Amino acid sequence: MSLALALHIPDGFLAPNFCAAGWLLAAPALAWAAHAGAQSPDLERRVPTMGMLAAFTFVAQSLQFPVPGGTSAHLQGSALVALALGPAASLLVLTVVIAMQALLFGDGGLLAMGWNVVNMALVGAMGACSLGWLGQKLRLPAFAWAFVAAWISIELSTLATCLELAAAGASPLKISLAGMLPAQGLVGLGEGLATAAALGILRQRRQCSPLSWREAAPGWLVIGLLLVLLAGGLV
């Protein structure tokens, strides 16, 4: 299995100082999410949904799919959690899942966990929130915007991983992009379908609310930054 294609960057793959930079990005976001979650007026009502989505995401990330070249890819679950819970609660849920994956299955590592949180819980979830908000504003069918948000979300996380591997000197950008984006894109089709179907059930049961501009705005900044970094890396 390719370490990079699994999207969980393992310990020993990045230099310790580069891993520390990932934690410097992830820690303030986690502090904000914890504060926002504590201030949420409907926290108790959302706890069962958070637990259910954490379990679903844990299982989804454990499923590995073989792709050409002897490597593998996996579902991510970030979009479903983000579209159902919003950015703050989804960041907490996904961080717990990423930590459990590292501790129980060795998917990723504690030193590299900061970057894994950035990729899947920040980039993936916030990107999904922005795209979901846009789909709602355009009054697109819920199934359509949920599918698109999930597919693009997993590609954004993959792009962030490729940029980090290139910045750390672990893998040239063009090589990682060529290997990882198509593989995760195929998996993203299944993730899009699963996300759209599951979100439809949650919406019917009134277990998620429409996204606000305040929840969507950070994701546009993240998407813009990734595109700028990608353009700079390919020049």
DSSP result, 8-43 = -PPTTSS-HHHHHHHHHHHHHHHHHHHHHHHH-TTH
pTM, 2 dp: 0.89
Distance CA 62, CA 218 (A): 28
Q: Is residue 192 included in any domain, yes or no?
A: yes
How many domains does the chain fold into? 1
Q: Is residue 112 included in any domain, yes or no?
A: yes
Distance CA 120, CA 140 (A): 25
Q: Is residue 224 included in any domain, yes or no?
A: yes
> Which of 153-167, 194-208, 213-227 is least confident?
194-208
Q: Is residue 9 included in any domain, yes or no?
A: no
Tens of pLDDT, residues 18-48: 999 999 999 999 999 998 877 776 767 778 8
Question: According to the model, what pLDDT value does residue 156 have?
Answer: 95
Q: Is residue 201 included in any domain, yes or no?
A: yes
Q: Is residue 234 included in any domain, yes or no?
A: no
Residue span of the structural domain in which 54 resides: 16-229
Q: Is residue 1 included in any domain, yes or no?
A: no
Q: What percent of the chain has pLDDT over 90?
A: 46
Q: Is residue 146 included in any domain, yes or no?
A: yes
Tens of pLDDT, residues 62-98: 766 655 444 456 678 899 999 999 899 999 999 999 9
Tokens 């069918």 sit on residue: 141
Distance CA 221, CA 217 (A): 7
CATH code assigned at 149:
1.10.1760.20
Distance CA 81, CA 86 (A): 8
Q: Does the pLDDT value for residue 56 go beyond 60?
A: yes
